[in-house]
Amino acid sequence: MEKEKQSTPVIHKKKNSQFRNILRRFMKNQTAVFGLVIIFLLVIFALFPSQLSHADYTVQDLANRYSGPSAEHWLGTDELGRDMYTRIVWGCRTSLTIGLASVAIACAIGVTLGTLAGYFGGVLDNVLMRIVDILMAVPNLLLGISIVAALGNSITVLVFAIALGNIAAFSRVTRSSVITVRDTEYVEAARATGASDGRIMWKYVLPNALAPIIVQVTTSLAGSILNISGLSFVGLGVPAPTPEWGSMLSNARTIMRDYPLQIMFPGIAIMLTVFAFNLFGDGLRDALDPRLKN
Amino acid sequence: MIKYIGKRILMLIPVLLGVVLLVFSMMYFSPGSAEDYILGDMATEEDKEAFREENGLNAPFIVQYFNYVKDAVRGDLGISYTTKQPVADEIFERFPTTFKLALLSTLWSIVIGITIGIISAVRQYSILDHVTRLVAMLGVSVPTFWEGLMLIILFSVQFALLPSSGFTTWKHWILPSFTIGTHSAATVMRMMRSSMLEAIRQDYITTAKAKGQTNFIVVTKHALRNAIIPVMTLVGVNFGRLLGGSAITEIVFSIPGLGNLIIAGIKVKNAPLVQGGILVIALAMALCNLIVDVLYAYVDPRIRSQYVKPRVKLAAAKSATTEEK
């Protein structure tokens, strides 16, 4: 082990130690680690729902509607006698997939817009930022609702609707981060060596402007999962019978006076997921903040 | 100062035009046409044609868009397809309800957020601080509509203390405003805490303490005055956001507010209503942000002093807009 460590090139070692510093600072933050653990569990649930619960989430048992928690149905059954635990576990896959896909799209577009605006400045910056202003001026949820209503209920439309709402935040965060990096000496040096604008942005500016963008990913994920459930709650989200926490809530709403537990579990699932991403993001922000080193 | 405000209002115009274009094109290009929704299955082709002609739906997209903008500038937002009333009237009939809800929620968020934020900062790293921070984090993670449903189960069903829907008496307002208020209280609390932590580390606090001032006076008089400024900005921005963002809570508590109206309009493709509603919300949010920015510049002496010299004025306005935006 010792020998291997010594033989690694110096540059690699330095990079590694910076990563390790961040990791060390992150691990000190207990609540953030707790968030990471929940996220890890959620990912496992999303990857192996049929192993961790029943393989078929549509099995109905009409004789056993609205039953309470029991050994057979851990969290009870819903209005069609479907197992709530199974549907919540599968709902995890729905939420995480749509959340990840839409944040990935928003991140790609937003970071591109933000980098261009921040790096070139001037007219381009002004035009791009006005477009972002337009997106910011409409509340995310109303934007999502009108897109889904216009283009129809499907998972693709939902991903697009949620992504569109997230683009503005990504481009703003990226732009302000790029502006702080743009005028540094190493960027100047790269330009002096004749590197093209594209290369400078990709190789020198973006890697150094990355920290706030990473934090934005976790914040956006949390917000997106909330928005997905909100859209499903108004009936404009994931089409049935795909299990989704928000639509489970909306189904249970009419009978909540008699069966409050039906409302409880899906809500806790949403809250816990969003909570985990928020905790993780908060810890990440502190760990990546160079002012808080040591 | 006036120049700054004027510039900000001018910059609002392209944004609002863009918002209209965005919503307009979404409604225009979506499958299923308004006449099918409004006239129903029984309508004949002639009826539909007459409806399209009456509402100007046969013109090309660009013409429709410019006609809409031209009318909107004069305050005419079109006629609602379902009720046949002017959209502007319908919106302004609902707006006070949403405004009141936002106002009450903001009150909750100020009272809860600022008090807990101060206590948490003064007792940093105490158990109380850890607990309140975790609760605040939970507060931003809870879907508001779920929180609303849980509060209904608890206070209307279990204890039968408060009504679950409607908006006639003050009792009706408690649950909805608390639901939304706690959500923004969580953000206010976090901002208050970090701002207060910064303030109590300043030299003038040490001076005040050295004078022999009591801890309570130091915190409430010296530190709070400086720490509250960024928090007030957040409260203002939150208020603007609530004007458009409390739609789902309005549905949960059956409050006939603007958000409820728009969502109902979206479902039946009532294009004039949806466009008008979203336009009004965007305008209200933008005006709110503008007022917050102006007040911010006015309240903070460090920024106000920049406006005294005319040369610096423009530069400050420029940096303020680029940073805030």
- A5 in a structural domain: no
CA distance A242 to A264: 19
- A16 in a structural domain: no
- A50 in a structural domain: yes
Query: If pLDDT is split at 50, 70 and 90, which confidence band does B70 have?
Result: confident
In this predicted structure, the answer to whether residue B277 has a pLDDT above a threshold of 70 is yes
Which residue in the block uniquely carries the two structure tokens 């129809």?
Answer: A152
DSSP state of A51: H
CATH number at residue A211: 1.10.3720.10
ipTM: 0.84
Residue B45, Cβ density class (10 Å: 0-12 exposed, 13-18 middle, ≥19 buried): exposed
- A100 in a structural domain: yes
- A11 in a structural domain: no
Those of residues 158-197 in A touching chain B at CB distance below 8 A are 172, 176
Kindly report the backbone phi and psi dihedral angles of residue A83, in degrees, each rounded to the nearest multiple of 5, phi listed first: -70, 120
CA distance A162 to B242: 19
Contact A75/A265 with Cβ under 8 angstroms? yes
- A18 in a structural domain: no
> Using one digit for the tens of pLDDT, what is the confidence trace for A35-81?
999 999 999 999 988 887 777 777 777 777 777 777 777 777 777 77
pLDDT above 70: percentage of residues in chain A: 93
> Using one digit for the tens of pLDDT, what is the confidence trace for A30-41?
888 999 999 999
Contact A207/A223 with Cβ under 8 angstroms? no
Query: If pLDDT is split at 50, 70 and 90, which confidence band does A115 have?
Result: very high
In this predicted structure, the answer to whether residue B83 has a pLDDT above a threshold of 50 is yes
Contact B97/B255 with Cβ under 8 angstroms? yes
Beta partners for A77? Answer: A83
Please tell me the predicted confidence (pLDDT) of residue B34: 66
Give me the number of domains chain A comprises.
1
> Using one digit for the tens of pLDDT, what is the confidence trace for B215-254?
888 888 888 888 888 898 889 888 988 888 788 888 888 8
| Most confident of the ranges A9-23, B55-69, B177-191 | B177-191
- A191 in a structural domain: yes
Please tell me the predicted confidence (pLDDT) of residue A3: 46
Least trusted range by pLDDT, from A66-75, B84-93, B110-119: A66-75
CA distance A45 to A58: 18
**A218: which 2 tokens?**
């976790």
**A259: which 2 tokens?**
């069966």
> Using one digit for the tens of pLDDT, what is the confidence trace for A265-284?
899 999 999 999 999 998 88
Least trusted range by pLDDT, from A98-112, A241-255, B36-50, B126-140: B36-50
CA distance B5 to A215: 33
B211–chain A nearest CA distance, Å? 32
Buried b (16+ CB within 10 A) or exposed e, B134-160: eebbbbbbbbbbbbbbbbbbebbeeee
* pTM of the predicted model over 0.80: yes
Query: If pLDDT is split at 50, 70 and 90, which confidence band does A286 have?
Result: confident
- A194 in a structural domain: yes
Whether B18 sits inside 8 A of A271 (CB atoms) is: no
| Full DSSP string of A185-252 | HHHHHHHHTT--HHHIIIIIIHHHTHHHHHHHHHHHHHHHHHHHHHHHHTT-SSPTTS--HHHHHHHH
Contact A62/A81 with Cβ under 8 angstroms? yes
B285 interfacial to chain A (CB closer than 8 Å): yes
User: How many of the other CB atoms lie within 10 Å of CB of B199?
Assistant: 20
Please tell me the predicted confidence (pLDDT) of residue A4: 46
**B157: which 2 tokens?**
């069903």
Query: If pLDDT is split at 50, 70 and 90, which confidence band does A218 have?
Result: very high
Q: Which residue does chain A place closest to B152, by CA atoms?
A: A257
Query: If pLDDT is split at 50, 70 and 90, which confidence band does A2 have?
Result: very low
A71–chain B nearest CA distance, Å? 26
Question: Where is A17: in which H helix or E strand?
Answer: helix A10-28
pLDDT, mean of residues B41-63: 75
In this predicted structure, the answer to whether residue B300 has a pLDDT above a threshold of 90 is no
In this predicted structure, the answer to whether residue A239 has a pLDDT above a threshold of 90 is no
Please tell me the predicted confidence (pLDDT) of residue B294: 83
> Using one digit for the tens of pLDDT, what is the confidence trace for B166-215?
777 788 888 899 999 998 999 999 999 989 998 888 888 888 888 888 88
Query: If pLDDT is split at 50, 70 and 90, which confidence band does B325 have?
Result: very low
User: How many of the other CB atoms lie within 10 Å of CB of B129?
Assistant: 17
Whether A137 sits inside 8 A of B18 (CB atoms) is: yes
- State the Rg of chain A over Cα: 23
User: How many of the other CB atoms lie within 10 Å of CB of A164?
Assistant: 20
Q: Pseudo-torsion of CA B42, B45, B51, B53, nearest 10°? A: 180
Q: Cβ contacts (< 8 Å) between B251 and chain A: which residues?
A: 234
Q: Which residue does chain B place closest to A248, by CA atoms?
A: B146
Domain that holds residue A90: 29-292
Task: Using alpha carbons only, give the angle B130, B136, B141 rounded to the nearest 5 degrees.
Answer: 130
Which residue in the block uniquely carries the two structure tokens 């005419």?
Answer: B76
Please tell me the predicted confidence (pLDDT) of residue A15: 57
**B206: which 2 tokens?**
């040490």
